[in-house]
Amino acid sequence: MKKKKKNENSSKIFLGHDHGVCFGDAITQIEDYFIKKKLQLTPLRRKVFEILIEDHKPLGAYEILEKLGKTGFSSSPPIAYRVLDFLIVHGFVHKVQGLNGFIACSNPNHSHFPTFVICRKCEKVAEVSEEKSGLKLPSPEISNFKIEKTTIELTGICSTCENAEIR
Amino acid sequence: MKKKKKNENSSKIFLGHDHGVCFGDAITQIEDYFIKKKLQLTPLRRKVFEILIEDHKPLGAYEILEKLGKTGFSSSPPIAYRVLDFLIVHGFVHKVQGLNGFIACSNPNHSHFPTFVICRKCEKVAEVSEEKSGLKLPSPEISNFKIEKTTIELTGICSTCENAEIR
DNA sequence: GTTAGTGTGTTATGTTATAACATGTAATGA
DNA sequence: TCATTACATGTTATAACATAACACACTAAC
Ligand SMILES: [Zn+2]
Ligand SMILES: [Zn+2]
Ligand SMILES: [Zn+2]
Ligand SMILES: [Zn+2]
């Protein structure tokens, strides 16, 4: 039998939240991953991840630092940038270039090339998987180029905000 | 003698330069566009565009400022950022987010959603059109989101650099 | 118990971008 | 004619984002 599943969601990528994992799940996932990979999920790293997963929207490094400071950690810039780099390398955080912000991955624990859909008005950001976005990358052979990392960000206006616009 | 067709390059997007318009052409194109749209191609705007088209690679705002300073213009930051914004709005320049750099458009004068292919080793950057990239954006209706602007950047290693790598 | 690797902290600095205000010039139109 | 507007450029100061370099503690390995 054919699956219609995919298209059900794809018609409203930007509605609701496409939060594959929610708070508890996310913490469990990162714990498991760190154990499996023999990495240290230190209090600092855990805190930074919690800050990001909490309201699951992009935060600037300095916003994160402020929150860290309030919970007893150092709030000097290298602290945040180092931990963020680490979490990015291991796929639990992405950088949203267009906002100079950092966001918890919606579907971590596997390598992927996500698309970020960003409403310029309400500033909501959705992470959309390759399948759902309908976006297909060029095959490496064709482009004669080995893709290691992608930055794909679609900025515009979500239907909610568009309907609310007067112009 | 026939002219080489564009798709001859499409199997090697990243080789040679995918420079749809070269220096003279580019200047002519921007002149025509500005006249048609009744915009002022002032000496400053022209100079910034010339700087970018000259070696057609991404330059930082402060690199551009330095070059401006050497030719008698002001070299205070707002000068560059304002002109760059203007040229971006009118489609003659793109920002390469991954490099905090600005690059002259390879195929200006029409609206498009280009892909930038960036070699992390030689730092060459190619602007690839939607057709050539093989990359297809989700249709607006499907995503329930009106795309106004895209940032699509593929970072990795070009075949030339890969062949030269020891590892 | 020395060494190497890792994680966090600190100070200082580098890089990228914008806010706010000032001046000049040309077109518009009471 | 002379205000009004629009626009282009210039200046100063500062904001926002990011990294270099060094210090110190902890642990595991040798
Ligand atoms: Zn993700
Ligand atoms: Zn919105
Ligand atoms: Zn272009
Ligand atoms: Zn290369």
3-state secondary structure of B36: helix
Segments of chain B assigned to CATH 1.10.10.10: 18-106
Tell me the residue type at B150. Answer: T
CA of A130 to the centre of ligand 3 (A): 24
Angstrom distance (rounded) from CA A39 to CA B91: 46
Q: Which CATH number fits domain B18-106: 3.30.300.350, 1.20.58.1290, 3.30.1740.10, 1.10.10.10?
A: 1.10.10.10
Name the residue among B143, B147, B158 with its Cβ closest to that of A145: B158
Instruction: Give contacts of A136 with chain B, Cβ < 8 Å.
Output: 134-136
| Protein CB footprint (7 Å) on chain C nucleotides | 6-13, 15-20
| B38 backbone dihedrals φ, ψ, rounded to 5° | 55, 45
Which of residues 97-136 of A have CB within 7 Å of strand D? Answer: 100
- CATH number assigned to the domain covering B110-167: 3.30.1490.190
What is the C-alpha to C-alpha distance for residues A59 and A68, in angstroms, rounded to an integer? 12
Which of A134, A138, A151 is opposite residue B142, by nearest beta carbon? A134
A31-64 pLDDT, tens digit each: 999 999 999 999 999 999 999 999 889 999 999 9
List of chain B residues whose C-beta atoms are within 8 Å of the C-beta of residue A12: 144
Contact status, residue B143 vs residue B137, Cβ threshold 8 Å: no
Rounded to the nearest angstrom, the minimum Cα separation between B107 and chain A is 19
Give me the tens of pLDDT residue by residue for chain A, a chain 167 residues long.
Answer: 433 333 344 446 666 555 555 788 899 999 999 999 999 999 999 999 999 999 889 999 999 999 999 999 999 999 999 999 999 999 999 999 999 999 999 988 788 899 999 999 888 999 988 766 666 776 655 568 889 999 999 999 998 898 886 44
- B55 touches B17 (CB < 8 A): no
- Which part of chain B has CATH 3.30.1490.190? 110-167
